[in-house]
Amino acid sequence: MSRTYVITGTASGIGKATAERLRADGHTVIGVDIKDADITVDLSTDDGRTALVREVEQRAGTIDGVIAVAGLVAASPVTVGVNYFGAVATLEGLRPLLASSDAPRAVVVASLAALEEVDDALYERLIADDEPGARAEAERIGTTTNAAGSSDIYSTTKKAIAQWVRTHAADGDWAGAGIALNAVAPGVIETPMTAAALQTAEGRAALDAGAPSPLNGPAAPPAAPAALLAWLTSAENTHVTGQIVFIDGGAESIRRPNLI
């Protein structure tokens, strides 16, 4: 049966591939991005987040799925605004519109980078839902990178959004309302975000060191996470919730082999 989805980040990469996949399957997709989208908003701002909800309400009374993909890697406070607060605002702001769906589902894209070192002070401000404080911490962190070469700001936002899913999935607003809520954590995906690094041997080696992928090679096409996002938000997914599903060719299992 045809469903209605809101997907952020549809102008490029994983969000674009997910929108294409769901449209090809006969579903309605309302695409959201800062450019080239059905709803054009800046998710790093309060105004953009408010406009997102208002415009989705105007276009669709009920939605069946929310897929929060928009994000960036820049070592900047804007990354805090989009990857964490923009994603939370997307999920929380659109949750009431999921309520009247027969099979409501939501998912956010985190990252394998969530397993990297994080900045504790920034992490604390994110979990405390303190955006001005988090942005101030991001200014302080600047361009510091972790051992895997990714920005401390990026890895911290991705760990925090994954934790947000763990914290909220089982509560009354989500599981209690019949809404499955999960995160997908990609390793390396071939998108404009990784294109520059994948172009050089040095860049590929650095990505492979941080995210070794023994299953099917170093970088997956965006169609791979798109298929996973589509299933997690399908009516078929009746019982998977609260999970951080790694799609990384095995990197997470290498990184932390012990189940407990």
Catalytically active residues are 154
**Does the protein bind ligand NAD through residue 19 (CB under 6 A)?**
no
**Does the protein bind ligand NAD through residue 194 (CB under 6 A)?**
yes
**Does the protein bind ligand NAD through residue 218 (CB under 6 A)?**
no
**CA angle centred on 95, ends 226 and 32, rounded to 5°:** 50
| Stretch in the footprint of ligand NAD (CB under 6 A) among 19-27, 67-75, 98-106, 229-237 | 67-75
User: Which one-letter amino acid corresponds to residue 141?
Assistant: I
SS3 state at 5: strand
Number of chain residues interacting with ligand NAD (CB under 6 A): 26
User: Which one-letter amino acid corresponds to residue 120?
Assistant: D
| Footprint of ligand NAD on 97-136 (CB under 6 A) | 109, 111
Smaller CB separation from ligand NAD, 9 or 93 = 9
Among 39, 100, 87, which residue's Cα sits nearest to residue 184?
Answer: 87
| Stretch in the footprint of ligand NAD (CB under 6 A) among 90-98, 134-142, 163-171, 187-195 | 187-195
Query: In the chain, which residue ranges form alpha helices assigned H by DSSP?
Result: 13-24, 46-59, 77-80, 87-98, 120-127, 131-141, 152-168, 192-199, 201-210, 223-232, 251-255
8 A C-beta contact, residue 78 and residue 205: no
**Does the protein bind ligand NAD through residue 12 (CB under 6 A)?**
yes
Smaller CB separation from ligand NAD, 34 or 235 = 34
Beta-bridged to residue 180, according to DSSP, are 105
**Does the protein bind ligand NAD through residue 42 (CB under 6 A)?**
yes
Residues of this chain that interact with ligand NAD (CB under 6 A) are: 9, 11-15, 33-35, 42-44, 69-72, 82, 109, 111, 186, 188-189, 191-194
